[in-house]
Amino acid sequence: MKRSIFNLLLITAVFLLCGGSTLTAQNRSTSEYLKGAVPLEDGEVVFRKSFKAPNVSRDSLMNFTRDWINGRDDQEKQLSSRVLIFDEEKGEVVGGCSEKLVFTSKLLILDQANMSYYIHATCTPGAVDLAIIRIRYEYEDKQRFTAEEMIADEVSLDKNQKKILKSSEKWRVKTIDFVDDLFKDYSYRLFQSI
């Protein structure tokens, strides 16, 4: 009887240890992570999205973007975000950011990297072009990688570009999900403020 209870506890513990978050998003098809999901501009990974805000002045969009970048700063979540450049003449706002990119979070297991990046916004009357650029990762024993080294199509997809290589999967999937969430947050807050 004691052996049966021990086995049940052991199976329960294994189940709990294996039951954390997964690398791939459950409600998204894998095709969203394949060829073209990580765009390159002049050999650098650049995630870019444009947001329309009809009848909103360039200055208002610049101020909103500055406040949004600075408002993301949260020491409890180990998220650093602050505006580095606010160029009223060019309509540009640039923020330097860093935060944790969590790959797996399970009981007794936490796999994560420190990720740093820049948010570059170009504001015009009624529109904002937002780009996430210069993504860098720091992992475990101070291993440093660039997005170009870890998630670009040429290094993270198989030769047919139909499958993500295991060595890059967690980096690519979590970075794409992160950028999507960042753009959604910006869009939501922008349209709440209009």
> What are the boundaries of each domain within the chain?
23-193
Predicted TM-score of the model (pTM): 0.83
Higher per-residue pLDDT: 25 or 95: 95
Q: pLDDT tens digit string along 95-149?
A: 999 999 999 999 889 999 999 999 999 999 999 999 999 999 999 878 999 999 9
Q: Is the pLDDT of residue 10 over 80?
A: no
Q: Rounded to the nearest 5 degrees, what angle is found at the Cα of 185, between the Cα atoms of 184 and 186? A: 90
Q: In the CATH scheme, what is the code of domain 23-193?
A: 3.30.530.80
Higher per-residue pLDDT: 194 or 156: 156
For residues 157 and 172, what is the distance between their CA atoms, to the nearest angstrom? Answer: 10
Q: Rounded to the nearest 5 degrees, what angle is found at the Cα of 17, between the Cα atoms of 140 and 15? A: 155
pLDDT of residue 107: 87
pLDDT of residue 131: 98
Over residues 162-186, mean pLDDT: 96
Q: Is the pLDDT of residue 168 over 90?
A: yes
| Percentage of residues of the chain with pLDDT beyond 70 | 85
Mean pLDDT, rounded, of the chain: 87
pLDDT of residue 3: 52
Q: Is the pLDDT of residue 65 over 50?
A: yes
Are the C-beta atoms of 131 and 44 separated by less than 8 Å? no
Residue 120: closest CA among 55, 66, 177, 56? 66
Q: pLDDT tens digit string along 46-64?
A: 999 999 999 999 999 999 9
Would you state the structure tokens that stand for residue 88, as one six-digit string? 């009223």
Higher per-residue pLDDT: 31 or 127: 127
Q: Is the pLDDT of residue 175 over 60?
A: yes
